[in-house]
């Protein structure tokens, strides 16, 4: 038989929980289990409502139309904040492309699967008017979340991203990229800085004229990154996947910082 006193204590005793926000206030070590579960319930319910709203606006993919592929970033994540600057507001990218794309080009947008993964408790729902703002742009077509990204990439004119892995995937599949933030592959062949109007329109005109990335230059860039990079990880899952230990990671980061300091002193 369940002890009612222990049951009440379990739900209302203040304990260390994952940090979360309630009305803008951080709640962590002073949170109760009941507070946390109620917060999670509200977040999950909101996610389901917004996913339904997105799915109700999904369009049929038409690969015969000229289009830009813009996969949304999951948020909050460093890929948009801080790496995106003001393009953390991803609707600004749609606005920029609306002003710079040829009249007959479309903007195909696909939501990030992880955004509505109920197991990803730190990912908050989009704002209520997020999809409405995007849909106000007549170029925008929403794609089913389960659509193969590689099919969309292979048939597009260009990929737009803040700093996502899709950019690297795209140039390696022969497609140019409009970059609206800072990514590790910035400076690679096929990556266009599109953070301002002039840069964006110049890139699109180049792409319109038939530009395609040179695969040999992309391979040289990858080799250069390998030569100057270090073998370390940020997330434990990456370390496990590539068989990199925590000790090795610490040593690599320490030596890299030490080399940067020494080189700066010499110069």
Domain boundaries along the sequence of the chain: 4-53, 57-222, 230-266
The pLDDT value given to residue 29: 46
The pLDDT value given to residue 1: 56
Topology, domain 57-222: Rossmann fold (3.40.50)
Asked if residue 139 has pLDDT above 90, the reply is yes
The pLDDT value given to residue 2: 59
d(C-alpha 88, C-alpha 130), whole Å: 13
Going by their DSSP bridges, the two strands 67-71 and 106-110 should be labelled as: parallel
Reported confidence tier of residue 147, pLDDT bands at 50, 70, 90? very high
- The torsion region of residue 184 among left (phi > 0), alpha (psi -120 to 50) and beta comes to alpha
Q: What is the DSSP letter of 58?
A: B
Angle at 52 between CA 46 and CA 54, to 5 degrees: 105
Average pLDDT, the chain: 88
Instruction: Please compute the mean of the pLDDT values over residues 170-185 and round it to a whole number.
Output: 98
Cα 241 versus chain centre, distance: 21
Reported confidence tier of residue 182, pLDDT bands at 50, 70, 90? very high
The pLDDT value given to residue 9: 56
The pLDDT value given to residue 4: 60
Asked if residue 30 has pLDDT above 50, the reply is no
Q: Is the peptide bond before 76 cis (omega within 30 degrees of 0)?
A: yes
- Total number of residues shown for the chain: 267
pLDDT tens-digit map of 49-81: 889 999 999 999 899 999 999 999 999 889 999
Radius of gyration of the chain (CA): 22
Instruction: Please compute the mean of the pLDDT values over residues 13-28 and round it to a whole number.
Output: 51
Measured in Å, how far apart are the chain's first and last C-alpha atoms?
Answer: 74
CA distances from 152 to 71, 114, 173, 205 (A): 10, 18, 11, 21
Contact assessment for residue 213 and residue 189, using Cβ atoms and an 8 Å cutoff: yes
The pLDDT value given to residue 15: 55
The two tokens of residue 237 are 């899952």
Which has the closest alpha carbon to 29: 39, 40, 14, 11?
A: 14
Instruction: Please compute the mean of the pLDDT values over residues 120-137 and round it to a whole number.
Output: 83
d(C-alpha 57, C-alpha 44), whole Å: 20
Give 219 or 25, the one with higher predicted confidence. Answer: 219
Asked if residue 7 has pLDDT above 80, the reply is no
d(C-alpha 232, C-alpha 257), whole Å: 13
d(C-alpha 179, C-alpha 82), whole Å: 14
Burial class of residue 235, CB neighbours in 10 A (0-12, 13-18, 19+): exposed
Asked if residue 121 has pLDDT above 60, the reply is no
Give 43 or 250, the one with higher predicted confidence. Answer: 250
For 172-245, where are the alpha helices, taking DSSP H only? 197-208, 215-228, 236-241
Any idea which residue has 């803008």 for tokens?
Answer: 24
């Amino acid at each position: 038989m369940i002890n009612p006193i222990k049951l009440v204590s379990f739900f209302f005793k203040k304990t260390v929980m994952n940090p979360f926000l309630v009305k803008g206030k951080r709640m962590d070590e002073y949170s109760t289990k009941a507070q946390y579960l109620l917060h999670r319930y509200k977040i999950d319910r909101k996610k389901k409502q917004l996913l339904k709203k997105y799915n109700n606006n999904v369009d049929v993919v038409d690969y015969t139309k000229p289009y830009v592929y813009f996969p949304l970033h999951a948020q909050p994540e460093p890929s948009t904040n801080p790496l995106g600057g003001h393009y953390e507001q991803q609707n600004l990218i749609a606005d920029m492309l609306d002003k710079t794309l040829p009249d007959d080009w479309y903007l195909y947008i696909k939501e990030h699967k992880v955004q509505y993964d109920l197991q990803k408790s730190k990912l908050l729902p989009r704002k209520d008017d997020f999809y409405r703002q995007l849909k106000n742009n007549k170029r925008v077509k929403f794609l089913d979340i389960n659509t193969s990204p590689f099919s969309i990439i292979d048939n597009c004119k260009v990929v737009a991203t803040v700093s996502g892995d899709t950019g690297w995937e795209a140039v390696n599949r022969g497609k140019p990229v409009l970059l609206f933030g800072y990514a590790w592959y910035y400076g690679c062949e096929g990556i266009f800085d599109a953070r301002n109007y002039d840069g964006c329109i110049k890139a699109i005109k180049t792409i319109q004229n038939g530009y395609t990335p040179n695969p040999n230059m992309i391979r040289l860039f990858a080799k250069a990154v390998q030569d100057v990079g270090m073998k370390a990880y940020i997330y434990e899952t990456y370390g496990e996947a590539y068989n990199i230990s925590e000790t090795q990671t610490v040593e690599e980061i320490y030596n890299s910082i030490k080399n940067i300091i020494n080189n700066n002193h010499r110069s």
